[in-house]
């Protein structure tokens, strides 16, 4: 009773929740604003001893790629 409607509401909510992390997960591409995905994580050549990492990022839409210095201890 009323279940199909409730299910649709939940599906919409799940879709909205799934869309958000994807947008926040990676930084936006400076060229086309599409989310970038991390393709490789290595220790920073200079500050690796301090726990810093280098993340290789590739745009999911265009060919843009870049490397960023990331401090995993400074989450958010
Ligand atoms: Zn791009």
Query: How many whole angstroms from 3 Cα to the centroid of ligand 1?
Result: 41
Q: How far is C-alpha 33 from the geometric centre of its chain's CA atoms?
A: 12
Task: Tell me the residue length of the chain.
Answer: 76
For residues 62 and 32, is the Cβ–Cβ distance under 8 A? yes
Higher-pLDDT residue of 54, 25: 54
- Give me the pLDDT at residue 64, please: 97
Q: How many domains, the chain? A: 1
pTM over 0.85: no
Query: How many whole angstroms from 45 Cα to the centroid of ligand 1?
Result: 26
The arithmetic mean of pLDDT across residues 12-31, rounded, is 73
Query: How many whole angstroms from 8 Cα to the centroid of ligand 1?
Result: 33
The arithmetic mean of pLDDT across residues 60-71, rounded, is 94
Query: How many whole angstroms from 61 Cα to the centroid of ligand 1?
Result: 5
For residues 36 and 25, is the Cβ–Cβ distance under 8 A? no
Query: How many whole angstroms from 63 Cα to the centroid of ligand 1?
Result: 6
Q: Which domain holds residue 45?
A: 3-74
For residues 41 and 51, is the Cβ–Cβ distance under 8 A? no
Average pLDDT, the chain: 85
């Amino acid at each position: 009773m009323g279940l199909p409607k409730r299910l649709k509401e939940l599906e919409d909510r799940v879709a909205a929740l799934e869309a958000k992390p994807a947008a926040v997960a990676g930084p936006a591409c400076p060229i086309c604003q599409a989310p970038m995905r991390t393709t490789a994580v290595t220790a920073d050549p200079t500050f690796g001893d301090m726990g810093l990492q280098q993340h290789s990022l590739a745009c999911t839409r265009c060919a843009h790629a870049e490397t960023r210095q990331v401090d995993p201890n400074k989450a958010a």
